[in-house]
Structure 1
Amino acid sequence: MSEHSSQPESGNRAESDHVAVGSDPLNSHTTNASDATPVDPLDSCQEARDRYRGQLSSIDAELQQYSATDSKFGTVRVTLFFAMVIGIGFSTTTGHPFWIAVAIVAFLAFLVAVVKNETVRMQIEIRQNEARTLRRLCARLDRDWATLVADPIGQISDVVKLNERQRYLAGDLDLLGDSSLFQLVSMAATTPGQRTLAGWLTEPVDPAVAQDRHHAVAALADQRDARLRFYTLAREVGTSTGDPESFVQWASSPPWLPSRRWLSPWSNLTAVASVLCLIALVAATLMQDRDLTRISFFALIGIAVLNLSIASLMLGPVAQIFSVAIQSRRSVDDYAELFQSAELLPTDAPEGASSNELTARIRRTFLGDPGHGGQSAGLAMRELGSIAKAGALKHSAATFLIYLPLQAFGLWDVRVLRRLEEWKERYAKNAEDWFTSLGELESLLSLAALADEYPRWAAPQWSAGGFDSKNNSDSADDSIVRCERLGHPLLQDTMRVRNDVSIGPAGTLLLVTGSNMSGKSTMLRSVGLNVSLAMAGAPVCCSAMRLPAIEMATSIRVSDDLSQGVSFYMAELNRLAAVVEHARQLHRSAQAEAANGSSQRRESPRRLLFLLDEILQGTNSRERQIAVTRVLGMLVESGAIGAITTHDLELADEPELMRIAHTVHFRETITPDADGDERMTFDYRMRDGVSPTTNALRLLEMVGLGEESS
């Protein structure tokens, strides 16, 4: 287990809590137990940090070279442009072939310079995205929450929809939001990736699914270069108008052209007419027929004006469609490469499992299933890429001069749109599945970074216990959450203190006592965060962890709601009632499944893991003890396991709790310093038994609120 350094129990976020303590009046009286402590080998990620920084240095050097080249191309482009202008000017006034040749050569050289310059600028953009990706990877390892929050791909509030249980869990355990578990593990840049990863961190899951995820994450951890490439491409598409969410909406929308059927034949008619007029113009010029020349020329001008007017007045929505579906050839190519990354997934099943359902489905979606006639997402995106190549002509300075006559004389955008809607008709029904699978693949690759960076963090093991309906209990001792050297994953590696923690078996609970700031709340969050990591498919911040099929419920951060007339005490009661009902629902479900033949189940039924922090503080001490004992009795009777913290030492003496509780404590040490002032330190080590110390009055004195001496 991991304990904060001098952290208040009720702080908002793991890291911000610690910072707050360093700046409060207790600063001169508190100390961090790990100030001079070297990083535990279990937490060492220095190899990954050095690798990221080395890659950043290489990219910075490349960016300097590319910037210098870009500057040179800028000078060349300006020089060639002025040479072209001068050549045109002199050829117009003198008619000398030399100046005509100068103008033509300068124009062609200018186009070549533009094309090569765009290639350099594209490389600059790619390297910049790689640098942003690596800086995020480094910020995660440093627990630099300010940098992570400032990164636009870390903002998920608008895309994640949580039910009430998930919201409570996420808020109590710092699963989502600023300085959260999501910020630590997420490299997801697309909307489906962020939504999927947030769901995995807040939703319960069967052990088989979790094991499938773990198996894929372990296989992806070694694919360092491929993962970095994937993160960079995902960032490019996730921050563009071609984000998957917009793409799926376009794919499911009705086609635009059928209601404007005349546009396609008109584009064909004007293209044919323009070719005929051009032929007539050339022939008239050769025959020196001025009348035919004039008619052909003005006919071409008329077609161009008419088509450009149509494009300006009617094809505005088409440009918006292009910006989503084929923003650029590069965006579509990025998608095709992202989908092809499914090849990195393992093809074998996890140890002890008969199949790898998750990874097999992702591979089938992206790579196709020839045996079943499945459509490959990669093939579809390559087809879309050829359409994007045609649609991207106007976005490039090098090809705009080609696009302009095609649009003026043949309504090029209409032709591209027709091909695009034909593509949509073939593949639109699959688009949602593609991006659902993309979200899952992106989540697996995010978690793989954590597995690579912390190779000594453990892969959780899942119990396979069953439920005995006759005895109303587990048929085996598989209702225990056991964590060896459990740590808090959101703390910096140098601050983490570890402890062994066991919660269960059924019929018991863990009662955590201790004085203020000693680390009780942090212990609860350490358990909850690691259970969340285990269910998501990530490694856990432990040397070993074993857990049954569980769902979590918490009551740690509770607040009143004046707008609804709900007091703090009533808010706590409502939260606890929800926790108890959750436990009862799971218990009833387990009994029903056992009665109907639990031997047919692939998974053992889930039980509730509750984590309760200093509950029912809004009433007097005696009534609180009675109420807490009653609530805990209901949870234990429902087969739930869990932990509760308290600094009320009388609560630990309640006979009913003494019967079912295993009691542990955290403590502080108070010693005088050289000036005779008291200094309070915490070692954040969990010990058996009830806490022998309290510190509320001493803390009061330390901040200057003690009794005044007469």
Structure 2
Amino acid sequence: MSNPASQIEEFLRQDKGDLERYNKKMKQLFYFRLISFAGIILSVIYLPYPSLLVSTLIFTALFLFFIRKNILLEKERNFRKRLIKISEKELLALQEQYSHFNPGKEFNNPDHPFSFDLDVFGEGSLFQFLNRTTTPLGKKRLAGLLENQETDVSALKDRQNAIEELAKEVRWRQVFAGKGNLDNEADLKLLRKLSEETKLKNPGRIKWLITIIPVISTVILVLAFVQLVPWTLLMLVAVFNVAILSFSKKTIDDFYNHFGNQTSILGKYFDLLKMIEDQNFNSSSLKQLQQKLYEEETSATATIQQLKSILARFDYRANFIFILVADSLYLWDLICVRQLDNWNRDHQSKLNVWIDVIAEFDALSSLANFNFNNPEYCLPAFESPEFCFEAQNLAHPLMKKNKRIGNDFNMKGRGQFVVLTGANMAGKSTFLRTLGINMILALNGCRCSADQMTLSPAPLYTNMRTTDNLQKEESYFHAELLRLKGILDEIQNGSPAFILIDEMLKGTNSVDKLQGSVALTQRLLALNANGIISTHDLKLAELEQQYPHNITSLCFEIRIENDKLFFDYRLKQGITQTMNASFLMHQMGIIS
């Protein structure tokens, strides 16, 4: 998976070459259509009758052939255009430009345990960084994966394998995306509506009619041929059958129209389902997803083909002579309705499963694309049951590579906290987000921005960006207390948790703040939780003396030289010795 850009550029060259060939062929077909149409006109004008008929038929057949060929080429040309667009967007991403991808603003939720604080959704977010989904349900599924992390080690390893396998299938993912420009959320709603509204009220009676009537009609037809019964008896049966069909006309029309729409919708997903069915996957997770498209060795696409075959037979009703005989003697329309109803009852529940499988592959492809684009990142190892978070050269993956600075981080054992101090803008909040974002990636089976990383899966909680709420009549301080109480309630049973707190209790005075911060830290230690607390209150860092086996003091330092600030963003042991608030206020002219 080395050199992602060169692979994408090669696909782009191939697709542009194909597009150029399709354009040339379509241009040739234009002239062929023009010549064949001219042949029709000239034949009508200049040829005598016998030759006119033959010549007109030949040129008309050629004209229709060229039209059909043009339609197929147009479809292929449009598909190549989509592939070219996919490659061009990805090359921009490899140049660290992501603004053209959907940011998932609709998933922003300030009450979520961590997504709002860590910029998981919105402009410049992790979601926008990862998102390559091409269906609305795929986009929802990706958002769900980022919000709800997997903490089972076995399941995580399976997902790692699945994502790594998909990461290698670059062209497969591109083609899947090219075929997947669909609104499957709206489609799924319509499919459910069609399936629920289109059901036979008396299937038993219909079954009896379409079983008995064709037998009776066939017997009377044979007897009439051998002149054992009059033909009028057959006519009476035909009238009776037509009367039955007249009473059932609304049901017949509803089934024909609704299932015609359903087949049209399912046809859009046929290519995607076929791609999943035909791919030879190795990872257990992908095989399990693939198996959901099968029931007793019958695939989803084969089941859709069954529906298409029933509707193709139903379409015979457009042939007046056929339907006159088939309906009046054998209730053909009702036979098709019964078959459609059986198909619907047998397969209605599977429609949701099929589209969910497509959505899952759509979401996993986004995560696989991240791994493909970043082969230098490490694949984290997982440890259980004791808590562990160890990383070498850990950095924030959303930061520009030329500005990205990595740090080592080590935390092992339950009930461990780091108190992180540092001046303003020294990198405390960014480091907390670095830990959180990489943890989200790891617990989704992705690579992490580090040289090496070992992690014990655990729920993630944050308190970094609390806001007041006038509508709920919540002050900033009260909102923060509610946030902290929510975290404590979640971990009350002593289950593992990793907690990131940035400058807690900002909405109160310094004395209250220190007392409250000390008490909360002690409570978190008592609950055997793990995490980091960043603070400007140096007194809080002194807790290390009281809890030397549970609390570690780390800091980011700055330098002030010749009235200039210098930041190295390197994590150091101990408590910060330099502050810069007064210096910054003086530089900005706020104070003298």
CA contact 1:246–1:324 (8 Å) conserved in 2: no
Preserved CA contact (<8 Å) 1:480 1:548: yes
Deviates more, 1:638-647 or 1:219-228: 219-228
Q: Deviations over 1:464-507 (max 9, x none)?
A: 23xxxxxxxxxxxx223112211112223333210011235333
Instruction: State the distance in 1 between where 2:275 and 2:320 align.
Output: 30
Q: Which residue of 2 aligns with 1:350?
A: none
Residue 249 of structure 1: aligned partner: 192
TM-score, normalization by structure 1:
0.68
Instruction: Please tell me the residue identity of whatever aligns with 1:375.
Output: E
1:364 lines up with 2:291 in the alignment: yes
Residues 333 and 437 of structure 1, relative CA distance in 2, 3 Å threshold: closer
- The size of the alignment, in residue pairs, is 548
Partner of 1:172: 117
Deviation at 1:441, TM superposition (A): 3.6
Q: Quote the offset at 1:359 in angstroms.
A: 4.4
The match for 1:66 is 22
Aligned-partner Cα distance in 1 for 2:337–2:98: 44
SS in 2 for 1:611: strand
Residue 483 of structure 1: aligned partner: 391
Equivalent in 538, 553, 562 of residue 446 of structure 2: 538
The residue number in structure 2 matching 1:28 is none
Q: Which of 565, 573, 577 is the aligned partner of 1:688?
A: 573
Q: 1:566 to 1:500 in 2, by over 3 A?
A: same
Matched, 1:181 2:126: yes
Structure 1 239/681 Cα, relative in aligned 2: closer, same or farther at 3 Å?
farther
Question: Mean Cα displacement is larger for which, 658-667 or 490-499?
Answer: 658-667
Structure 1 partner of 2:343: 423
Q: Is the 8 A contact 2:136 2:184 kept in 1?
A: no
Superposition deviation, residue 109 in structure 1: 1.2
**Aligned equivalent of 1:195:** 140
Question: In the superposition, relative to structure 1, how do residues 422 and 70 fare at CA in structure 2: closer, same or farther (>3 Å)?
Answer: farther
Question: Matched residue of 1:663: which SS?
Answer: strand
Superposed, which structure 2 residues align to 1:262-301 within 5 Å? none
Distance between the aligned counterparts of 1:317 and 1:179, measured in 2?
48
Aligned to 1:624: 513
Q: What secondary structure is seen at the aligned counterpart in 1 of 2:461?
A: strand
Q: Please list, as runs of the form range in 1=range in 2, the aligned pairs for 1:289-688 lying within 5 A after superposition.
A: 319=257, 321-327=259-265, 329=267, 331-341=269-279, 343-346=280-283, 356=284, 358-359=285-286, 361-366=288-293, 368=294, 374-376=295-297, 379-385=299-305, 387-388=307-308, 406=319, 420-465=340-385, 478-585=386-493, 587=494, 606-653=495-542, 659=548, 660-672=550-562, 678-688=563-573
What amino acid maps onto 1:692 in structure 2?
Answer: Q
1:626 corresponds to which letter in structure 2? Q
Distance change (3 Å), C-alpha of 1:241 and 1:387: farther
Q: Would the aligned equivalents of 2:553 and 2:574 in 1 still touch at CA under 8 Å?
A: yes
Is the 1:614–1:646 contact (alpha carbons within 8 Å) kept by the matching residues of 2? yes
**Letter matched to residue 109 of structure 1:** L
Runs of 5+ consecutive residues of structure 2 not aligned to the other structure: 218-245
**What's the offset of the Cα at 1:47?**
0.9
Q: What SS is found at the alignment partner of 2:569?
A: coil
Find the partner of 2:67 among 114, 118, 131: 114
Aligned position for 1:26: none
Q: What letter corresponds to residue 12 of structure 2 in structure 1?
A: L
**Alpha carbons of 1:693 and 1:322: their partners in 2 closer, same or farther (altered >3 Å)?**
farther
2-structure distance, mates of 1:228, 1:499: 35
Letter in 2 for 1:184: F
**How many angstroms apart in 2 are the aligned matches of 1:438 and 1:106?**
44
Cα separation, 2, equivalents of 1:413 and 1:69 = 43
Question: Which residue is equivalent to 1:703?
Answer: 588
Indicate the residue corresponding to 1:475 in structure 2. Answer: none
Letter of the structure 1 residue corresponding to residue 72 of structure 2: T
Deviation per residue, 1:375-422 (Å, 9 max, x gap): 346x231241364488699xxxxxxxx999559985999998765544
Deviation at 1:228, TM superposition (A): 2.7
Correspondence for 2:174: 228
User: CA 1:51–1:539 in 2, change beyond 3 Å: closer, same or farther?
Assistant: same
Aligned to 2:153: 207
Of structures 1 and 2, the one with the larger relative CO (CA 8 A, separation 6+) is 1
**What whole-Å deviation, never above 9, does each CA across 1:516-556 have from its counterpart, x for those lacking one?**
22211111111111111111111222122122231111111
Matched AA of 2:404: R
1:172 alignment partner, SS class: coil
Specify the SS of the correspondent of 2:292.
helix
In 1: Cα distance, 2:566 partner to 2:50 partner: 91
Q: Post-superposition shift, 1:242?
A: 8.0
Percent same amino acid at aligned positions? 22
The Cα offsets for residues 96-130 of structure 1, whole Å up to 9 and x where unpaired, read as 33443343223211110111101111111221222
Whether 1:128 and 2:17 are equivalent positions in the alignment is no
TM-score with structure 2 setting the length? 0.80
Does the CA contact (< 8 Å) of 2:198 and 2:254 recur in 1?
A: no
**What is the letter of the counterpart of residue 169 of structure 2?**
Q
1:344 corresponds to which letter in structure 2?
F
Distance 2:469 2:169 in 1: 48
8 Å Cα contact 2:101/2:132 also seen in 1: no
Question: Structure 1 pair 175/345, CA: closer, same or farther in 2 (3 Å)?
Answer: farther
Q: Does the 8 Å CA contact 2:109/2:115 hold for their aligned counterparts? A: no
Q: Distance in 1 between matches of 2:442 and 2:58?
A: 65
Q: Which runs of 5+ in 1 are unaligned?
A: 1-44, 273-306, 347-355, 369-373, 394-401, 466-477, 588-605, 673-677
Task: Specify the SS of the correspondent of 1:501.
Answer: strand
**What SS does the aligned partner of 2:566 have?**
strand
The alignment yields a C-alpha RMSD, in angstroms, of: 3.9
Q: Partners in 2 of 1:426 and 1:543 — Cα distance?
A: 51
